[in-house]
Amino acid sequence: MTTGIQDTKHLLAGQDVGDYVAACTTPPGQAVTGLIARAGELGDEAGMMATAAQATLLTMLARLVPARLAVDIGTFTGLSALALAEGVGAGGRVVTCDVSDRWLPLAREHWEKAGVADRIDFRLGAAGRTLAGFEPGSVDLVFVDADKMSYPRYHALAVPLLRPGGLLVADNVLLDGWVVDPSRADTPAQRRCAETLRAFNAALAADERLDAVMLPLADGLTIARKR
């Protein structure tokens, strides 16, 4: 959404700035850095993982809300679930879901090492089914980091579940910058993803139930607070 107010600050992009941002962010604890190192050995697939700075931010957001129940959409190797579990603290709960349990043993190993495995409830299956299992207003934080084409659906399903003051946090909202001009995407599938995320970003910014801020952190992260 454009407000007509010009933003006069420049966005500094590039790997050197990204590295500097990471260097000036409190590193996550040993459990998270250990998982990042192990999952980093997976090769190309490791690129799906959240970054260390995002993990620090997720833990901080869960503490600030404060969240007792967080829902993590897209488990992969369990990094976001681990960061959220550290944030919800003892007695808190993270429900995390994925259509694959291929990386679950790796995730569990690190959840256990961190002493938070008993706070994390993994559900195998599509996120829509997991989201449908919560009462309206019962969830403190939803982190969306799964199939990009479903982001509009996750928006529709997640907002009613959040209590006032709860957060909807969405990753990859810049999609390599292609959201600015989806026609620049390399493939038709990526173009459709970029168009979908562009529509999702606009819908979040225009959603009167939310206050949303998009941060150019990693591949773009939006934090939206329910009014």
Ligand X SMILES: C[S@@+](CC[C@H](N)C(=O)[O-])C[C@H]1O[C@@H](n2cnc3c(N)ncnc32)[C@H](O)[C@@H]1O
Range in contact with ligand X (rule: CB under 6 A) among 2-10, 47-55, 192-200, 202-210:
47-55
Preceding omega of 188 cis (within 30 degrees of 0)? no
C-alpha 130: how far from chain center: 16
**Which pair of tokens denotes residue 206?**
């225009």
Nearer to ligand X, 103 or 182 (CB): 103
Going from the C-alpha of 30 to that of each of 56, 86, 125, 212, the distances in angstroms are 12, 12, 30, 31
Q: Which of these ranges, 11-19, 93-101, 183-191, 192-200, lies near ligand X under the rule CB under 6 A?
A: 93-101
Query: Cβ of residue 205: shortest distance to ligand X, in angstroms?
Result: 23
Question: Which one-letter DSSP state was computed for residue 100?
Answer: -
49 binds ligand X per the rule CB under 6 A: yes
CA distance 109 to 101: 13
CB of 136 to ligand X, least distance (A): 21
* Nearest approach, Cβ of residue 172 and ligand X (Å): 7
> What is the distance between the alpha carbons of residues 39 and 2, in angstroms, rounded to a whole number?
39
Residue of 71, 85, 127, 204 interacting with ligand X (CB under 6 A):
127
**Using rule CB under 6 A, residue 178 touches ligand X:** no
Residue 49 has a CB neighbour count (10 Å cut-off) of 21
Residue carrying the six token digits 């909807």: 168
Q: Which is nearer to ligand X, 12 or 189 (CB)?
A: 189
Can residue 126 be called a binding residue for ligand X (CB under 6 A)? yes
The identity of residue 177, as a single letter, is G
When binding is defined by CB under 6 A, the residue of 95, 144, 146, 218 that contacts ligand X is 146
Q: In the complex, what is the shortest distance from the CB of residue 1 to ligand X, in angstroms, rounded to a whole number?
A: 26
Those residues whose C-beta lies under 8 Å from the C-beta of residue 85, and which sit 6 or more positions away, are: 92, 94, 111, 114, 116, 119, 120
Rank residues 133 and 227 by Cβ distance to ligand X and give the closer one: 133
Site membership for ligand X, residue 100 (CB under 6 A): yes
**Residues near ligand X (CB under 6 A):** 48-50, 73-74, 76-77, 79-80, 97-100, 126-127, 145-147, 150
